[in-house]
Every structure is written in structure tokens, then in C-alpha cells.
Amino acid sequence: MFTGIVTDLGTLLHLEGGAENLHLTLGTTYEERSIAIGASIACNGICLTVVEKGHYEHGNYFQVDASPHTQAVTTLGRWQVGQPINLERALKLGDELGGHMVTGHVDGLATVMSVKQAGDSVSYVLEAPAALIPFIAPKGSVTLDGVSLTVTDVKGTFFGITIIPHTLAATTWHAVREGDLMNLEIDLIARYVKRMLDARS
């Protein structure tokens, strides 16, 4: 379980393998000794399991594997060596829940339709898959590339968000452009409410 509050801006150091199994190495400022083999780390919102860790000349790293399914339903298959990656460690009991409850299980891809400056912040309009838009509501929460965000409005299959300067600087959002695809996870509570309502009808 995660909160959607990014705690490190990592770097994709190496890729090997392919569609059957992709092996990734990510640089991080997390202390090597604090990373457990088998631990879950959200990488651009994707919950991945640490299979190896170590130290290299510029810092620490950890390695993860991505299955064909993960590559198919997320942006991971499009990642390039050198790109920054939003990282978040799994939530511990007693930690501050600064964002909202996030599982790291991506529901689909959202497309960035527009990017507009709004004072010191930036406003974005994204299009979600039609099947997911019923789970997205104004003032509700969504996770995009691992970042917990508040929805400003919803119109048809489009929804808006606004990102403050701190979040722009601390995550990959400062580099987001029109046409980019984002890993979208809908709110966990909305998912179960919809399920209950469907069961009653």
C-alpha cells in the first residue's frame, strides 16, 4: 500500500530482456541497507518487487522485473534509460497518510490533452478510458504516474488537475507534455462503491 506521495526521483539506469520479462535497474537515493529484497516500491505508480540491490559510482540502485501483463497495461514498456522515475516506498503502520490509499495496481492509461500555466501552478486536462471515468469525480483523488492528485473537474471522458510548484519540482510532472501517457490508478474507495452499487442493480 502507498499514499501517492513521491519520496525520491530515481533514474532508470539499465534495461534488459523483452516482452516475456523485462529486468530494470533504477538508481535511487534510498539507503541500500533500508531496501529489502522482496519489498514493494512504486515506480511511476507501478508496484514492483525488489529482486536485487547494490551500490554504484553515483549512488544506490535496486532491480525489479516486469511481466508481460505489467508492460501491456502501463507505460513501463516505453521507458528509456536515463529518464527520471517517481519512487515511493511502501507505507508502514504509523506513517503519515499525506495523499490517499494507493495500491500501485495501474487501472489504465490516461492521455495528457492540454497543459496550461495557472500562476505558479500548472493545470492539465487528461482523457481517461471510458470504462474508468465513472470512478473519477471532482474533488476526488486519482493517482497519475504514482502521484496522488485532486481532480478539479470532469467533463465526459476528460478530467482536470492542477499541480503546485513543489510537486512539479519533486516529481516528473515538470516534464509532462501534451500527448504523454500516464499510469492511472482510480481511487480504491470509488472502486468498491461502484462494485457495491453494481451488485445491487
Q: Does residue 163 form part of some domain? A: yes
Instruction: Please report, for the domain that includes residue 46, its CATH number.
Output: 2.40.30.20
Q: 39 - beta bridge partners?
A: none
Instruction: Please check whether residues 35 and 81 belong to one and the same domain.
Output: yes
Instruction: Please check whether residues 112 and 192 belong to one and the same domain.
Output: yes
Instruction: Please check whether residues 85 and 113 belong to one and the same domain.
Output: no
Single out the residue of 65, 126, 95, 78 nearest to residue 5, CA to CA: 95
User: Cα(14)–Cα(16) distance, rounded to whole angstroms?
Assistant: 7
Least confident of 73-87, 156-170, 178-192: 178-192
pLDDT of residue 21: 87
pLDDT in tens, 109-138: 999 999 999 999 999 999 999 999 999 999
Stated pTM of the model: 0.92
Instruction: Please check whether residues 67 and 126 belong to one and the same domain.
Output: no
Residues above pLDDT 70, as percent of the chain: 98
pLDDT, mean over the chain: 93
Q: Does residue 94 form part of some domain? A: no
Task: Give the pLDDT band of residue 20 (cuts 50, 70, 90).
Answer: confident
pLDDT in tens, 94-104: 676 777 889 99
Q: Does residue 79 form part of some domain? A: yes
Mean pLDDT on 64-75? 95
Domain that holds residue 15: 8-89
Residues in the chain: 201
Single out the residue of 18, 67, 73, 81 nearest to residue 45, CA to CA: 73
What is the distance of C-alpha 160 from the center of its chain? Answer: 17
Instruction: Please check whether residues 44 and 121 belong to one and the same domain.
Output: no
